[in-house]
Structure 1
Amino acid sequence: MSRIARAVLHEWRNVVVDPCRGLRERGPLGVSLAVVACVAVIGLHEFQQTAAGAGVVRVLSEVRADQPVWLSLLRTPVSVFVPAVDLSAWGGLPRLFLAFALAELLFGRVRTLVVAYAVTLAGTLGARVMIALGPDRLGLPAEAAHTVDTGASAAIVGLFAYTSVALRSPLLFLAAVVPTVSGSIAEPNLAGREHLVAVTVALILGVVLHRRGGGPGGRRGGGRREVARCQCPLPVSKAVDREVGHDREAGRGRELGRGGS
């Protein structure tokens, strides 16, 4: 088998076979976080279209660089599940579900949420740094401080990048991350810069957390585990001690009998 065929087979097993096996073993609860994320995005998007809901969603999730840092930190968890106003929430649902479901089946709910929040928060704080640097230093203009930060899209591309590094899956990276990175480079606006920061942080997290072994260390049920040998002596029962002592005494008796003869 050629090297390319082995690489494709390896990625097929990691990206498709193992998650499907986990879904079969755990059932629908295995992707419960992905389902909740999709329902939250749909619900917040529809609520945002109403007159009363627009103000509520803005107060709970709108993050901008001209806000105090503490306010952005409070709103960032909700902003992960709020789509951009000018984009269709239904069009991004397949990518949202796939990113969260794949990460949830492979790494668990807690790590999936931590990675999604970490990359989103990194993009938010990175935007503040780039605005402070200004356009003359490869940053962003001051007007970008009034632009609403991207939420769900940064979490999606960050989860894909993290999963690609953890699984050693270049094809997944090419299909799910490279198009977003290319668009962010082509349009160096606030959202594009936040996507680049999110991908960078996700790559660093993937390398740091999965640098040992050939597969993802956080995967449930994945990979072979080495069984450590016991280094301390096990306690022996009294019955075994009596049998061993009896055999030793009988052996000494036979040796004495041979010596006397």
Structure 2
Amino acid sequence: MRADTLSRWIRAEWGALYLAVRRVSAGRRWWAALPMTLGAVCLTGLVQVVQNQPWGYQAVQDLGAVRAEDPLGPALARTPLSLFVPALDLPVWGALAQILVVFGIAELCLGRWRTLVVAYVATLAGTLYARVGIALGPDHPIGLPASDARVVDTGPSAAVVGLAVFLGWRYGAYVTAAVVIVAIVVEVVLKDNLAGKEHLAAIAAVLVLCAVSAVRQRRSRARGGSTSGAPPIQS
């Protein structure tokens, strides 16, 4: 691929996203533009320190560890904090880097509350899928073995995957979004683990959000276009 062709492709794929980040962050110190993201990074780091202490492990489990075998009410109550509980078998720097980069870009482009909504929907979809999959059983195409009910389900990965797909759709980075989806499909094919299937559930939920958002945008444009001389109604 020639350099100019590559340059055009990069602009077409990531240009809108880059301009959105630049527009919001212009004239501001980067840390002032990302209060939610920095708070999430600090919270994740704090939880990691606490859960590695003899006195803190059980407290973190009680407040933020989700298992499919848990009653639904307590599991839903723990789900928000579970985003910020790094998996014990993975390096914490991976979770911190995911939050800083993906949450940071999302906060700049989507805003704080929309970022939180997309992240929570993705995480909740994965959590609820685990229960459905176990109920269906391992013989069903989307089922899970009963042993997965005891797997601790924490970390920001489902939220990160969901936000990456949503950002790719919203800012026209369709190849990037497709690569994320294909990577998760490959993970499921190669590993066939609970985490990968939860990520697919998160992607499915976010694609529904994308479809709903697209319908709202079309309706908003239609209402704005049918109103003579009036500005478009914001959705």
TM-score by length of 1: 0.76
CA distance in 1, matches of 2:26, 2:213: 26
The change in CA–CA distance for 1:80 and 1:230 in structure 2 (over 3 A counts) is closer
Give the aligned partner of residue 53 of structure 2. Answer: 50
Deviation, structure 1 residue 47? 1.1
The question of whether the paired residues in 2 share the 8 Å contact of 1:119 and 1:198 is answered with yes
CA distance in 2, matches of 1:180, 1:125: 18
Report the count of equivalent residues: 221
Give the aligned partner of residue 123 of structure 1. Answer: 126
Q: How does 1:53-92 map to 2 (within 5 A)?
A: 53-92=56-95
3-state SS in 2 of match to 1:172: helix
Give the aligned partner of residue 184 of structure 1. Answer: 188
Which shows bigger deviation, 87-96 or 43-52? Answer: 87-96
CA distance in 2, matches of 1:29, 1:185: 41
> Is residue 201 of structure 2 the alignment partner of residue 197 of structure 1?
yes
Give the aligned partner of residue 22 of structure 1. Answer: 24
Deviation, structure 1 residue 119? 0.8
The Cα offsets for residues 178-199 of structure 1, whole Å up to 9 and x where unpaired, read as: 4334213321211111111011
Which shows bigger deviation, 21-30 or 57-66? Answer: 21-30
CA distance in 2, matches of 1:163, 1:213: 16
Q: How does 1:72-221 map to 2 (within 5 A)?
A: 72-138=75-141, 139-174=143-178, 176-211=180-215
CA distance in 2, matches of 1:172, 1:212: 24
The Cα offsets for residues 171-225 of structure 1, whole Å up to 9 and x where unpaired, read as: 33255454334213321211111111011111221232135669xx9xxxxxxx9
**Structure 2 unaligned residues grouped into runs of 5+:** none
CA distance in 1, matches of 2:118, 2:33: 18
The question of whether the paired residues in 2 share the 8 Å contact of 1:64 and 1:145 is answered with yes
The change in CA–CA distance for 1:104 and 1:85 in structure 2 (over 3 A counts) is same
CA distance in 1, matches of 2:185, 2:163: 14
CA distance in 2, matches of 1:3, 1:211: 33
The Cα offsets for residues 200-254 of structure 1, whole Å up to 9 and x where unpaired, read as: 111221232135669xx9xxxxxxx9896159xxxxxxxxxxxxxxxxxxxxxxx
The change in CA–CA distance for 1:181 and 1:25 in structure 2 (over 3 A counts) is farther
Give the aligned partner of residue 15 of structure 2. Answer: 13
Q: Which amino acid letter does the alignment assign opposite residue 173 of structure 1?
A: A
The question of whether the paired residues in 2 share the 8 Å contact of 1:163 and 1:206 is answered with no
CA distance in 1, matches of 2:173, 2:103: 17
Q: Compare CA radii of gyration and give the structure with the larger one.
A: 1
**Structure 1 unaligned residues grouped into runs of 5+:** 218-224, 232-261
The question of whether the paired residues in 2 share the 8 Å contact of 1:33 and 1:104 is answered with yes
CA distance in 2, matches of 1:178, 1:25: 37
CA distance in 1, matches of 2:5, 2:207: 25
CA distance in 2, matches of 1:35, 1:178: 29
Q: Which amino acid letter does the alignment assign opposite residue 77 of structure 2?
A: L
Deviation, structure 1 residue 26? 4.7
Deviation, structure 1 residue 68? 0.6
The question of whether the paired residues in 1 share the 8 Å contact of 2:44 and 2:86 is answered with yes
